Structure formats: C-alpha cells, structure tokens
Amino acid sequence: MSFDLAARLAARRAENLYRQRPLLESPQGPQVVVDGQPLLAFCNNDYLGLANHPQVIEAWRDGASKWGVGGGASHLVIGHSGPHHALEEALADLTGRPRALLFTTGYMANLGAVTALIGQGDTVLEDRLNHASLLDAGLLSGARFNRYLHNDADSLAKRLEKATGNTLVVTDGVFSMDGDLADLPALARETKAKGAWLMVDDAHGFGPLGANGGGIVEHFGLSQEDVPVLVGTLGKAFGTAGAFVAGSEELIESLIQFARPYIYTTSQPPALACATLKSLELLRSEHWRREHLQILIRQFRHGAEQIGLELMDSFTPIQPILIGDAGRAVRLSQMLRERGLMVTAIRPPTVPAGSARLRVTLTAAHSEAQVQLLLEGLADCFAQLKSEPSHA
C-alpha cells in the first residue's frame, strides 16, 4: 500500500483547482514584479500601504542593530524582550483592553486561544464561513463543534440552546473571501444572553475599520463585555507579521499558562516588534490612509457595477467579483495578467463550490488612476470572457 500522490495532484489539475506560488521579485506595493513580469497588483492584504514604508523599514533596521535578529527562545524562557512587551502594551491601548498577548502567526493565535479556553465537555459554535484556522482550532479543541449559518444570529441562538459546558462562539470580523462584516451587535446579544463568550478574529478589520483603525469592535462601538476575546493579525494592515489576542487580565494570563502554540514556540524577532510599533503609530495617526482607501472602494464599486460585474456586499478593501465556475475565474485572472494586472482567482475549497471569484483587494498605496486602469481592464476582459464558450 502506498500514497498515490500523483493521482491526487492530477485530479486537482483536472478540476481547475491546482495552486501555484507566484514568485514575487520586488517589495509589496501596487507595482510589483512577479515571475519576471512587471504587474499592477490588486491581491495583497497590505491595506494601509505600510509593508514597504520607509519609517517601518528604518525601525526594523534600528531594532536589529539594538536587539539582534532572533527571538532566541520562547517567551516563557528568555525570549520575551523589551520590544515585545512595548508592542503588547501598545496593542492593548489600541483595543482599549487591559492586556494583549503576541503570537508568531494568526493561525497560532486562533489555535492557542480556542484550545486554551475550551475542551472536552464544552461547546464551540462557529460561523460557516470562518477562516480555516478558526475551524481547525474548533475541531482540535476536543469540544462539541457546530457551525451556524453565515452571519445568522437566529441560527446561532438555536445552537446555543443545545450547548453544554463552557460555550465559545467564534466568528471572523471581516470575512476574508466575501469582504462582509459579522453582525457583531446581534451575535453579542445572543451570546451574552446564554452566558457564552464571543471570540472575534478581526484580521482584516484592524486598520481599515473604526475611527482610529481599531477594527470592527470600534466600528460597532462594542465593549470587552460584548467581545471578551479579540484577535488581530499584524501581517495585513499593520504591514509586518505576527498576531495578538487582546482581553482581560485573566484571559491573557490564562493564555500564557495554557495556550500551547504560545508556550512552545520561539518568540518573533524583537526587531519585528520594533517595526510593528512604528506601523501601529502610523496606523493611528495618519487618518488619510483610511480616508483615501474609502474613496478607492467607492470608485471601484461604482465602476464595477457599471460594467455589470457581480460584486458582494462589502464596503471593506476586499472586493470579490463572483464568477461561479473555477475555470472561468482562472481564465479571467490570466486575461488580466496578460494586460499587466494581477488579481487572484479564488477557488474551492477556499470558497464554496460554484462560487469561484476574483478577489480584488485595494490599498491606501493605490491611486485613483490605478483603480481606473483595473476597471478598464476588467471591462475589456469580462466582455471577452462572456463571448467565449463555457466549459463548465
């Protein structure tokens, strides 16, 4: 008996679901070089344009000169350095919570938080469209796992009625493939009424949402009582890498004691924390970045609707164009690339079968002229795609 990997790979190719890694040969930004080709990119999550910001780069360089380049050990041994501590305090301040805890990746933050809070005999209820890391965390926790209908507080309420033990309700803040917002006020109401806790992964909300970039909780004016567990990632609008969980003193101390992905891994480089401190300062002070981004989002949605593209209900930088068939989504992406425009086709299993789409992401580093180039390219390529026979 052996693993027939070749057959699995061939099947994935035949279903137009085969993935390949583009080779980026330039820093992140609107203008990139990918696989040797200069392209205007609309597919990264650097929403505020900070990933290649000179001040952030300088902060990293200065941090490396002072603190070296490696964390050296786990936080609980000797890897918790001054910059890590300062960043945790700054993130607590951003979120208006007593404490925040740094994780090396968003996947580890979600895995750590869920598995530290619940286990056998408990219940975890998750939105059907949650990010893979949240779903994996729920399954690995050992708790009774159930998914409620997407963004449906009534569906959640029915499942809460049957919950046993400690109950954790888990949702994305901004759904990464649709760009829509969780209905947090309604979800928080149902969750609190049953004595359960609500955990929100706001990876795509921090930066673009909220008056000060504080994300979806700030956007809705909710409190720590409404959302006891708040997760954010630093590799998107912050432009660096890593993640954090923010909450009460007791929550953070519990994660330090019981979150295995936190306890058993080396801390991130201290210089990275120095860079993130600078990007956090820019995120909070340069309000023009959020304002410019909103102008681009309105421009894109208006133009795309005029072309006749099927958009989704999103006022975030994530603007998916629904195509349906995976093959046609890949074809449209290829046609745009031939015109010098990079927009990624997203296919199952990342999204449900029959809902393949192009995932356009806009950033504060884009200009209105660049968005106009994208719209012109989409108009031409979409018209061409419609005239081609479907192989669905």
The residue annotated as part of the active site, out of 176, 314, 333, 355, is 176
Which among 233, 231, 270, 238 is positioned nearest to 252, based on CA atoms?
231
The residue annotated as part of the active site, out of 53, 84, 219, 236, is 236
- DSSP class of residue 206 equals B
What residue numbers does the annotated binding site for pyridoxal 5'-phosphate cover? 106-107, 176, 204, 233
Which among 238, 366, 237 is positioned nearest to 296, based on CA atoms?
366
| Residues comprising the chain, all counted | 392
Q: What is the helix (H) or strand (E) element at residue 33, kind and residue range?
A: strand 31-34
User: 54: buried, middle or exposed (CB in 10 Å: 19+, 13-18, 0-12)?
Assistant: exposed
The Cα–Cα gap between 155 and 159 comes to 7
Asked whether 342 and 39 are in contact (CB, 8 A), the reply is: yes
Q: Is 158 a catalytic residue?
A: no
What residue numbers does the annotated binding site cover? 19, 106-107, 131, 176, 204, 233, 350
Task: Name beta bridge partners: 232.
Answer: 244
The CA-CA-CA angle for residues 380, 357, 230, to 5°, reads 130
Task: Name beta bridge partners: 341.
Answer: 40
What residue numbers does the annotated binding site for substrate cover? 19, 131, 350
Q: Is 204 a catalytic residue?
A: yes
Q: Is 279 a catalytic residue?
A: no
Query: DSSP 3-state assignment of 343?
Result: coil
The residue annotated as part of the active site, out of 75, 84, 204, 366, is 204
Chain mean position to CA 161: 30
Q: Where in the sequence numbering do the catalytic residues fall? A: 176, 204, 236
